[in-house]
Amino acid sequence: MNSNPGDRQIFSVSELNRSVRHLLETQLPMLWVEGEISNFARPASGHWYLTLKDGQAQVRCAMFRNSNMRVNFKPGNGTQVLVRGRVGLYEGRGDYQLIIEHMEEAGFGALQRQFDELKQKLASEGLFETAHKQSMPESVSHIGVITSPTGAAVKDILSVLKRRFPSIKVSIFPTAVQGEQAAGQIVEAITTAQTSQCDALIVGRGGGSLEDLWPFNEESVARAIFASEIPIISAVGHEIDFTIADFVADLRAPTPSAAAEQISPDGEDMLNQFEGFELLLAEAMARKTYMLGQQVSNLHKRLQHPGRKLQEQAQHLDHLDIRLRRAINSKLQQQRYQMDTVQDKLSRVHPADAIVNRQQLVTEYLKRMSRGIAQQLDTKKNKTAQAMHLLDTVSPLKTLGRGYSIIRDDQGAVVKTVAGVSAGDKLKSQMVDGEICFTVDGTTERTL
């Protein structure tokens, strides 16, 4: 059944295409599309027209001149590209198309995005921070090189080391530097090198495309470099090439040859330094020899003939002998005088007189001591008699002798009050000449 003709909204073809175009451009966001170019056309206007296709479908595309001027490669039929653009509609034919604003080679773009994502991830974890980087050793005697044993990089490194300092020991840890197996081999080589006692490691290869250098952008390689206990120099590609390994390594060299230059001392400079040191040493030795010669000459002038020196020493000994003899005689005379004085004093103080005096003193002391002891005994006797009299006066037995008694219960405890006994209790009354045992018939309390 047909609807009412008055309710119908009728579009012209132009209006329909314009509405569809508006709907596509407003509802679909800016998007990325990858595909292969076909039907590529470049008219005099400078705009590009092409078709992007894959194995099942295709879409028409247009890239205007102001956008395609920024493309840094030459596209053509069969080129695999990655484009960014908006979906639109060409109203004249009613065909929907993709308006391209940016174009890059598909492989390079994917790798570049992967590179940027890994770089940002490792940077956020701190693997690029300077605080984690090891300093290169000041003196290097053993260098490890992790690269292809047949590549130009190892030849350049060995050539530079031979020219600058041939005595440096070089250990080569062979590994693939491109291809799917390269990253794993590089990690294994770095791990193996940790036990090699190398002073530093050079990890790198010669130049190449982004795909060729990609093993040095692998996360496993970056983490192996970061975990290395031996300082690592990254020397990947040419000076303009940068890899993730360059950011993680302790030092980045623009080329393998530059890495060898940076880690090795310049033998010619060292030889020049040694020659300078040799000249300085010769001059110092000449000055020292001259000074010592001057000292020897001065000492020679001051040196006396041994015979003369012996005569002086003999004369000095004679003087000392004379002084010693005089000193001994003087000392003996002093000792004799002192001895005579002591003997005279000793003769005046004979021991017998001293003994008699001491005996008289002892006799007098004994008499005094006897009198003092007798006085002390009399005093102690009097005090003792007074104490015995006082003790007899306050003795309980004296009290009992006056008719008093001490009453105790059957436990031996003294009964002090009437309240402490009751009828039927057996008590003992201590008298002056014995005890009386009795039983309580009753008690009467006296009010105080």
Positive/negative CA dihedral, 289, 290, 293, 294: negative
Average pLDDT, the chain: 85
The pLDDT tens digits of the residues spanning 396-405 come to 666 666 777 8
Give the separation between CA 221 and CA 209, rounded to whole angstroms: 18
Which two structure tokens, joined as six digits, stand for 323? 């002084």
pLDDT reading at 293 higher than 50: yes
Q: Please say if the pLDDT value at position 2 is more than 60.
A: no
- Provide CB contacts within 8 A for 233, sequence distance 6+: 136, 200, 201, 202, 203, 204, 249, 250, 251, 252, 253, 259, 262, 263
Reduce the DSSP state of residue 328 to 3 states and report it. helix
Question: Can you tell me the distance from the alpha carbon of 385 to that of 208, in angstroms, rounded to the nearest whole number?
Answer: 135
Record the tokens describing residue 116, joined without a space. 């940027």
Tokens of 152: 């130009």
Euclidean distance between the first and the last CA atom of the chain, given in angstroms as a whole number: 139
Q: Average of pLDDT values for 336-355?
A: 78
Among 45-54, 115-124, 251-260, 395-404, name the one with the lowest average pLDDT: 395-404
Span of 93-107, 190-204, 263-277, 362-376 with lowest mean pLDDT = 263-277
Structure tokens, 165 = 């300092």
What pLDDT sits at residue 358?
82
pLDDT range class, residue 225, cuts 50, 70, 90? very high
Run of H or E residues at 177: none
Percent of the chain beyond pLDDT 70? 94
State the pLDDT confidence band at 211, using cuts at 50, 70 and 90.
confident
Burial code (b: 16+ CB inside 10 Å, e: under 16) for 24-33 equals eeeeeeeeeb
How far is residue 79's CA from residue 69's CA, in Å, rounded to a whole number? 18
pLDDT for residue 18 = 83
- Classify residue 3 by burial, with Cβ atoms within 10 Å: 0-12, 13-18, 19+: exposed
Between residues 98 and 210, the one the model is more confident about: 98
Task: Give the model's pLDDT for residue 447.
Answer: 65
Please check whether residue 52 is in contact with residue 63, taking contact to mean a CB–CB distance below 8 angstroms. no
Averaged pLDDT, 106-132: 85
| H helix intervals, 31-165 | 65-68, 106-124, 152-164
What are 350-382's pLDDT values in tens digits?
A: 677 778 778 888 888 888 888 888 888 888 888
Query: What does the pLDDT average to over 165-175?
Result: 92
Rg of the chain's alpha carbons, rounded to an integer?
64
b/e for 68-93, b at 16 or more Cβ within 10 A? beebeeebeeebebbbbbbbbbeeee
Q: Tell me the backbone φ, ψ of residue 371, rounded to 5 degrees.
A: -60, -40
Confidence class for position 303, pLDDT limits 50, 70, 90: confident
Instruction: For residue range 306-335, list pLDDT tens digits in order.
Output: 777 777 787 888 888 888 888 999 988 988
pLDDT recorded at residue 179: 87
In which band, very low, low, confident or very high, does the pLDDT at 110 lie, cut at 50, 70 and 90?
low
H-type alpha helices, 205-255: 219-227, 244-248
Query: What does the DSSP 8-state code read for residue 414?
Result: B
For residues 216 and 178, the answer to whether their CB atoms sit within 8 Å is no
Nearest residue to 201 (alpha-carbon basis) of 251, 150, 265: 251
If phi > 0 it is left, if psi is from -120 to 50 it is alpha, else beta; for residue 46 that is left
Strand partners, 203: 146, 234
Which contacts qualify for 195-198: CB closer than 8 Å, 24 or more apart? Answer: 196/142, 196/144, 196/171, 197/142, 198/142, 198/143, 198/144, 198/171, 198/230
For residue 250, the tally of other CB atoms under 10 A from its CB is 20
Q: According to the model, what pLDDT value does residue 400 have? A: 67
Question: Where residue 1 falls among pLDDT bands split at 50, 70, 90?
Answer: very low
> Against a cut of 0.85, is the pTM above it?
no
- For the ranges 145-154, 251-260, 303-312, the lowest mean pLDDT is seen at 303-312
Mean pLDDT of 96-109: 84
